Amino acid sequence: MDVSALKRDLDGLKVDDNPAIVQQKSRDFYWYSPVLKQQLDHVTGDLIVTPRNETELIRVLAACHCHGVPVTPRGSGTGNYGQAMPLSGGVVLNLAEMNEIKSIAPGRVVSGPGAILADIDKATRAHSGQELRLSPSTYNTASIGGFIAGGSGGVGSINFGGLRDFG
């Protein structure tokens, strides 16, 4: 991977190559499993890129595609068991700053992937008295993008089913 060429293509975007930050953002709670701890302890990305909007996100993905660089999307990193770790290095796509709550309507909310579940719930309650049906143990720190990508459940799953259940 030609990191210098990729960084040139990403000029003006928020890019971090500090090894300590890259390692931190390359991890989730994989170490819960002693087997995965041994298998994944060495895994790290090469760069952290943090787009602020869809235009920047498209630019990052286009540059990575052009250079053949693997991309690992990342929410707030509360997932378990290595679900979003950069197994092949490359760019860790930090979506935390894409956290805008764009619209709220009956039965739905549209937000960026980095919006925190607790913030979405607070906004929907204030707007229309609605609430999220499922609340994971990481409710105050988990992003909606990671929550949906992981197919998680949580408090509410017994009454309403899992995230992929109809209704």
Q: What share of the chain is helix, strand, coil (3-state, %, to 5)?
A: 35, 20, 45
Q: Is the pLDDT of residue 161 over 80?
A: no
What pLDDT band is residue 10 in, cutting at 50, 70 and 90? Answer: very high
pLDDT reported for residue 21? 95
Question: What is the phi/psi pair of residue 74, to 5°?
Answer: -140, 130
Among 148, 134, 163, 165, which residue's Cα sits nearest to residue 73? Answer: 148
pTM, rounded to two decimals: 0.85
Nearest to 51 by CA among 102, 112, 120: 112
Place of tokens 């039965």: 107
Quote the tokens at residue 123: 């906004």
How far apart (Å, rounded) are the C-alpha atoms in residues 96 and 113? 7
Average pLDDT of the residues in 72-96: 85
Residues 123-152: pLDDT tens digits? 999 988 888 877 777 889 888 888 777 666
Give residue-wise pLDDT tens across range 90-131.
999 999 999 999 999 998 899 999 999 999 999 999 988 888
In whole angstroms, give the CA distance from residue 127 to residue 111.
14
pLDDT of residue 90: 96
Measured distance CA(164)–CA(149) in Å, rounded:
11
CA distance 26 to 38: 15
pLDDT band of residue 77 (cuts 50, 70, 90) is: confident
**Does residue 167 surpass a pLDDT of 80?**
no
Q: What is the pLDDT of residue 163?
A: 66
* Residue ranges, CATH 3.30.43.10, the chain: 3-94
Distances (CA, A) of 34 to 16, 40, 88: 29, 10, 21
Domain spanning 3-94 has what CATH number? Answer: 3.30.43.10
